[in-house]
Amino acid sequence: MDREIHTWYSPALQKEMPIAIYGHYGFALLMIPTAAADYLEYERFELIEHLRPLIDQGKMKVFSINSINMESWMNKPMEGAHKAIRHNQFNQYVWEEVIPFIQNTTSVETPIITSGASFGALHAMNLFLKRPDLIKGVIAMSGVYDLMEYSDGYYDEQVYFNSPIHYIPNLTDHQLLEKIRSGKIIIATGSGNHEDPNANNRFSGVLHSKSIPHELSVWGNDIHHDWPTWKKMLPHFIDSRF
């Protein structure tokens, strides 16, 4: 399996941002870390190793980026408005820097699918829903899609516009909705410890209300909010749905 590390100084974030790349061919899987983790998290917890057979087959080429959650929603002393500003800078970094980098590394025709677990699932979903012209689908695992779960009660316009369960019900832009509807959306959750299948069912209902096709996959009570779950889920969906 090919493995490369690249880095550049991000104009959006005003800091050095590394990216890990695994594989040589296939669609581009853009992985967003959990909570306070970094771009090598999926490698450290052996999820990349579980994806190796699919990577080696040329099914997909994986791109794993850093999170900045400790500089935004998980930075407890920071004012809520400043957290939202930093989060929007992260979105800008992905759309204006990471996506062009992936296209230059693959091709402009290569489909880009976002994926993440836990807090990374919310980010992966939000990045797709807001820019389905750039991103063609999402595999979201063990997520909740209400940003207020992470905002310590802070709520403003920018929380609203980055919280899918809030902004999707009011989305009326026909062109944007049609692009979202043409994407591939997979929402997966367990029913075990620290999972929230009810939150996933609620979000599925929101998507249904806007006639957005998607797959909701609720796994059993033995499927917990932890790495063994995601090491089962992600290879399963990539192998069977892509």
The domain defined by 3-241 carries CATH number 3.40.50.300: no
Q: Which of 14-28, 67-81, 115-129, 223-237 has the lowest mean pLDDT?
A: 67-81
Which among 195, 121, 126 has a CA at the least distance from the CA of 158? Answer: 126
> What are the beta bridge partners of residue 31?
64, 115
Q: Which residue has the tokens 């797709």?
A: 128
Judged against a pLDDT cut of 90, whether residue 108 lies above it is answered with: yes
| Residue 167 confidence (pLDDT) | 98
Name the 3-class secondary structure at 87: helix
Residues 116-143 pLDDT 10s = 999 999 999 999 999 999 999 999 999 9
Tokens read off for 75: 């930075």
Order of strands, edge to edge, in the sheet holding 137-141? 3-10, 15-22, 60-65, 27-32, 112-117, 137-141, 184-189, 215-218
Mean pLDDT of 84-103: 97
Q: Quick one: pLDDT band at residue 198, thresholds 50, 70, 90?
A: very high
Roughly what angle, to the nearest 10 degrees, separates helices 47-56 and 227-241? 20
CA–CA dist 235, 129 (Å, integer): 23
Q: What is the pLDDT of residue 36?
A: 85
